[in-house]
Structure 1
Amino acid sequence: MSGIALAAAGAVAAVLLTVGFVLGRITARRGRGPADAGLGSPVERATFHTLHTASLAAPPLRAGLTGETAARAVGRLRPLLGTEALCLTDRAEVLAWDGPGGAHHRDRVAGLVAETLASGRSRSVHTDHADCPDDSCPLRWAVVAPLTGEDGVLGALVAYGSRESAVLVRAATEVARWVSVQLELAELDRSRTRIVEAEIRALRAQISPHFIFNSLAAIASFVRTDPERARELLLEFADFTRYSFRRHGEFARLADELRSIEQYLALAGARFGDRLKVTLRIAPEVLTVALPFLCLQPLVENAVKHGLEDSAGGCRIVIAAHDAGAEAVVTIEDDGVGMDPEELRALLRGERPASSGIGLSNVDERLRQVYGPEHGLVIETGPGAGMKVTVRLPKYRPGVHPAV
C-alpha cells in the first residue's frame, strides 16, 4: 500500500506541476478580474482549481473503470487539460466522451489506441482529413496515454486538441498516470474487501460444530425440566447465529458485539453451569464506537476454552470497556490455565496450526490492518496465570463505521 500511496502522491504532484503551469499561464494572460481579488496569485488560483477538479474526478474512478464511472469522471478530467475533447476507453471500446466531435471521431478511436494498448506507451497522432472530413472540426491532433493497473494496460485516455503541443503531451500523460493510480487503488479496495470477507468466513468457520452441538444439547436438557429457560436459550442461540452469519458490514458497534458476546456466554453458561462466572464492566459512552465485525467474540471464546475446557475447575471471565480519551479500551481477562509466552508468539506469527488459534491471530491481523501496527492485540499471560487481552480502538477513524 505504501508504494501505491507514493505513486499517487507523485502523480498528483506531476499533474499540479504540468497542468497548474498551463492554467497559470492562461490565468496570467487573462489578468486578475474583480471577482478574483484576494484569491492569491494566478499560479495559486490555478493550483487550487486543479486540486478541486481532481478531487471531483477521483471518487468515480475509485469504483473502477466502467462506462458509468468513466462518464462521471471524463467531464471533470477535461478541464484539467483544457483540451477541446477527451475520451476514456477500455481495451475494447470508448467508455465516455466529453466535448465536440464525438459523432465522427468516436468510431475511429479504436484505431488510434491500438498501438498504445499493445505497447503501454503514450503517443501523439494527427487526425488528417481522411479521419475527419469536417473542415470545421477543431480536433486535428490527439494524445493517447495508457491507463494501467495490476493486470497491465486497462484502456486509454485520449486528449484531442486543435494543434500540436508538447505541454499537452506531458499533461495528458501525467493525468493518465493519476487516473491509473485511482484505478489501482480501486483494485486494492476490492482486494481488501475480498480479504476481509475471507477472514470473516474463517472466523465463522471457527464457530465450531462442537459449540453448536453442545449448545443445542444444553437447550434440549432444559426442555422437560425448565421449558422457559429452554425457550430463552433457543432465542439466544437464534440471535447469536443470525448476527454471526450476517452478510453485510465490515464493521459493527461495540454495543452489538457485546450483545453477541452475552448471547455466546449465555449458551456457554447453560453448558458449564456454575463453573463459568462472568463480570461485565462497560462504560456507556463507548458503546457506539465502531470496530471490525466479529472482533471480540473469538477473544471471549478463547477465554472460555482456556479457562474451562482446558481446566478441571471453574473460571471467572471479566470483560471491561472504558473511555481513554481518543480511544476505547476493551479488556478480556480470565483466570484459566494461561499459555507459555513463546507459544503465544508462535501462534500469532502463524507458526502453529490454524486450529490452535485462528481467532487470536486473525483478530490481531485485522486490527493492525484497520488501525495500524500499533493497535495489535496486547496479551499478558503465563502458564497457570490466566490471560488478559487488551484491544485499543480509536473512536474515530476514516472509513470505519458500522453498517446501517
Structure 2
Amino acid sequence: MPDNPLFTAAAIAVIVLAVAVVVGVGLKVIRSFRDLGTDAERATYNTLHAASRAGQHLRGGLQGTGAAKASKQLRALLGSEALAMTDTTDVVAWDGAAEELRPTLMGLASGVLTSGRTAVVAGDQSGGYSAVIAPIRAGSRVVGSVAALAPVAGAGLVRATSEVADWIGVQLELSELEASRTLLAEAEVRALRAQISPHFIYNSLNAIASFINTDPARARELVVEFADFTRYSFRRHGDFTTVAEELRCIDRYLLLERARFGERVQVSLRIAPEVLSTVIPFLSLQPLVENAVRHGLEAKEGPGHITICANDSGAFAEVTIEDDGVGMDPEHLRSVLAGHSDGEHVGLRNVDARLRQVYGDEHGLVIETAPGEGTLITMRVPKSQPGHDA
C-alpha cells in the first residue's frame, strides 16, 4: 500500500471517529444505568417487583406450586435463611435452608394458628435457627402461617415477617373474591337455565305432542330441534360463546315457540356477517328473545313481531332485540334490574348483571319501553376480547 500522507490522515480520522462512537455509546449506557435511580429507588423497585410476582403465584390460594414459587420471592424480600408457609394442617411451601426442620414446623406453629399472634421460637427449639412465625389471616379467620428462619431474629425481622403475613392474607382474600365472582357467574347461568326449564320445556313438549298424530314428520323435526336447543342450553363447559352460536340457539327456540303460537310470532333478522364471530357471554341473547315472547307477545292480542339486528359499530358489536308487544312500565323495569322484583324478568336482570360484571357498568343492557309501546333492548360488547374464549 503506498505511503501517502493523505491516506494516512484519512485512516487516522476513521479510527478517531470509531473511538468517539464507542465512547458515546458507553456514556449512553452508563447514563441509562444511572437513570434507574438511587440505590434506595432500585431497592424499592426490586421489592415491588418481587411482591408483584409473588402475588401472581398466590392467585390460586395457599396451595400447590403457586405457594412454592411465591415463597422464593418472599424469602428474598425478608433476606432470611429459609421461609415456609403453612395452612391450618400442613406445610404447603418451603424455600431455603434447614428443610430437615419441616416435619417439626406444624408443632411450632400450632400456638400461632390457635392464638392468632406472632411468635418467636429460639434456636434451641428449631435446629439452631431462630424462627419468626406469623399468622396469615383472611378476614377474621386464621388460615395459615408464614415462618422466617434466621441465625438471629431481630425486631426488624419480626415486624417484616408480620407484614408479609398480612400481605399474603390480602392476596388470599382477593383470590377468594375472584372465586366468589366465578361462582356468582355460574349461579346466574344456572338461574337462566332454571328459567328455561319449567315453562319452555313443558310447553314445547306439549306442542310436539300435538303434532304426533296429525303431522309425524313435523313432530320428528321439532324433537330434533328441542334436543339441540336443550343440549346447547344445558352444556357444562365455557362461560362464553359467539353471536353465531347464540343465534343458532335462538333459531331453534323460535321454531319451537312458533309450533305453539303459529303465525302469531313473526321474526325478522338483520345480521352483519362480520359480527358473527364476536364473543359474548353464554346465554346472553336467548333470554332476551324469550323475554320478548313471554312478556311481550304472549299477552298481546293478534300477531306480534320481533326484530333481531346485529351490527358492526367500530370496535363494538351492537345487538338489538325489538318487539311490538305490550311493553312495561319504566319504573317497574328499573325495579326489576335492581333485583327488587322477584320471579319476573329474571332473564333481563341476570343478563344485565353478567354484562356489567364482564365488561363494566357502561356495557349493561339499554332498554327502551313503555306500556303498549313494545320493548327495544340493546346490547353492546367489544369485538376484541383477549382472554375470553368461546
User: TM tier, shorter chain?
Assistant: 0.7 to 0.9
Q: Matched residues in 1 for 2:146 and 2:126: separation?
A: 19
Residue 249 of structure 2 is aligned to residue 260 of structure 1: yes
Residue 327 of structure 2 is aligned to residue 338 of structure 1: yes
Residue 376 of structure 2 is aligned to residue 388 of structure 1: yes
Residue 356 of structure 2 is aligned to residue 359 of structure 1: no
User: Structure 1 residues 281, 151: CA separation in 2 closer, same or farther (over 3 Å shift)?
Assistant: farther
Residue 365 of structure 2 is aligned to residue 369 of structure 1: no
Residue from 237, 241, 244 that aligns with 1:248: 237
Displacement of 1:37: 4.2
User: Structure 1 residues 276, 102: CA separation in 2 closer, same or farther (over 3 Å shift)?
Assistant: same
User: Structure 1 residues 157, 221: CA separation in 2 closer, same or farther (over 3 Å shift)?
Assistant: same
TM-score, structure 1 length as denominator?
0.81
Q: Matched residues in 2 for 1:54 and 1:197: separation?
A: 31
What residue in structure 2 maps to residue 127 of structure 1? 123
Displacement of 1:184: 0.8
Residue from 86, 101, 114 that aligns with 1:89: 86
Q: Matched residues in 1 for 2:139 and 2:218: separation?
A: 56
Q: Matched residues in 1 for 2:272 and 2:169: separation?
A: 46
Residue 169 of structure 2 is aligned to residue 180 of structure 1: yes
For residue 60 of structure 2, give the secondary structure of its aligned residue in structure 1: coil
User: Structure 1 residues 328, 74: CA separation in 2 closer, same or farther (over 3 Å shift)?
Assistant: same
Could you tell me which amino acid in structure 1 is paired with residue 201 of structure 2?
Answer: I
Identity %: 58
> Unpaired runs of 5+ in structure 1?
1-32, 133-138
Q: Is contact 2:54–2:73 with CA below 8 Å preserved after alignment?
A: yes
Could you tell me which amino acid in structure 1 is paired with residue 379 of structure 2?
Answer: V
Q: Is contact 1:62–1:186 with CA below 8 Å preserved after alignment?
A: yes
What residue in structure 1 maps to residue 109 of structure 2? 113
Give deviations 1:149-190, integer Å, cap 9, x for gaps. Answer: 145110101111122333333332222222212211121122
What residue in structure 2 maps to residue 379 of structure 1? 367
Displacement of 1:68: 4.4
Q: Matched residues in 1 for 2:76 and 2:362: separation?
A: 42
Residue 201 of structure 2 is aligned to residue 212 of structure 1: yes
What residue in structure 1 maps to residue 316 of structure 2? 327
For residue 231 of structure 1, give the secondary structure of its aligned residue in structure 2: helix
What residue in structure 1 maps to residue 74 of structure 2? 77
RMSD: 2.5
Could you tell me which amino acid in structure 2 is paired with residue 106 of structure 1?
Answer: R
What residue in structure 2 maps to residue 18 of structure 1? none
Q: Matched residues in 1 for 2:136 and 2:147: separation?
A: 10
Could you tell me which amino acid in structure 2 is paired with residue 54 of structure 1?
Answer: A
Could you tell me which amino acid in structure 1 is paired with residue 147 of structure 2?
Answer: V
Could you tell me which amino acid in structure 1 is paired with residue 382 of structure 2?
Answer: P
What residue in structure 1 maps to residue 389 of structure 2? 402
Q: Matched residues in 1 for 2:231 and 2:136: separation?
A: 43
User: Structure 1 residues 94, 38: CA separation in 2 closer, same or farther (over 3 Å shift)?
Assistant: same
Could you tell me which amino acid in structure 2 is paired with residue 393 of structure 1?
Answer: V
More contact order relative to length (CA 8 Å, sep ≥ 6): 1
Displacement of 1:318: 0.8
Work out which of the two has the higher radius of gyration on C-alpha atoms and give 1 or 2: 2
User: Structure 1 residues 131, 338: CA separation in 2 closer, same or farther (over 3 Å shift)?
Assistant: closer
User: Structure 1 residues 398, 141: CA separation in 2 closer, same or farther (over 3 Å shift)?
Assistant: farther
Q: Is contact 1:257–1:297 with CA below 8 Å preserved after alignment?
A: yes
Q: Matched residues in 2 for 1:150 and 1:288: separation?
A: 42
Number of residue pairs matched by the alignment: 360
Q: Matched residues in 2 for 1:112 and 1:263: separation?
A: 63
Q: Is contact 2:297–2:323 with CA below 8 Å preserved after alignment?
A: no
Q: Matched residues in 2 for 1:331 and 1:131: separation?
A: 68
User: Structure 1 residues 388, 279: CA separation in 2 closer, same or farther (over 3 Å shift)?
Assistant: same
User: Structure 1 residues 398, 223: CA separation in 2 closer, same or farther (over 3 Å shift)?
Assistant: same
Give deviations 1:280-303, integer Å, cap 9, x for gaps. Answer: 122222223222221221111110
What residue in structure 2 maps to residue 58 of structure 1? 55
> Unpaired runs of 5+ in structure 2?
1-28
What residue in structure 2 maps to residue 348 of structure 1? 337
TM-score, structure 2 length as denominator?
0.84
Counting only pairs closer than 5 Å after superposition, residues 147-226 of structure 1 correspond to structure 2 as 147-150=136-139, 152-226=141-215
Q: Matched residues in 1 for 2:382 and 2:166: separation?
A: 34
Could you tell me which amino acid in structure 2 is paired with residue 374 of structure 1?
Answer: E
What residue in structure 1 maps to residue 36 of structure 2? 40
Q: Is contact 1:81–1:168 with CA below 8 Å preserved after alignment?
A: yes
For residue 349 of structure 2, give the secondary structure of its aligned residue in structure 1: helix
Q: Which stretch of the first structure deviates more once superposed, 48-57 or 264-273?
A: 48-57
Q: Matched residues in 1 for 2:197 and 2:153: separation?
A: 68
Could you tell me which amino acid in structure 1 is paired with residue 151 of structure 2?
Answer: S
Q: Is contact 2:243–2:276 with CA below 8 Å preserved after alignment?
A: yes
Q: Is contact 1:307–1:314 with CA below 8 Å preserved after alignment?
A: no
Q: Matched residues in 2 for 1:72 and 1:280: separation?
A: 53
Q: Is contact 2:132–2:153 with CA below 8 Å preserved after alignment?
A: no
Could you tell me which amino acid in structure 1 is paired with residue 365 of structure 2?
Answer: L
Q: Is contact 1:39–1:45 with CA below 8 Å preserved after alignment?
A: no
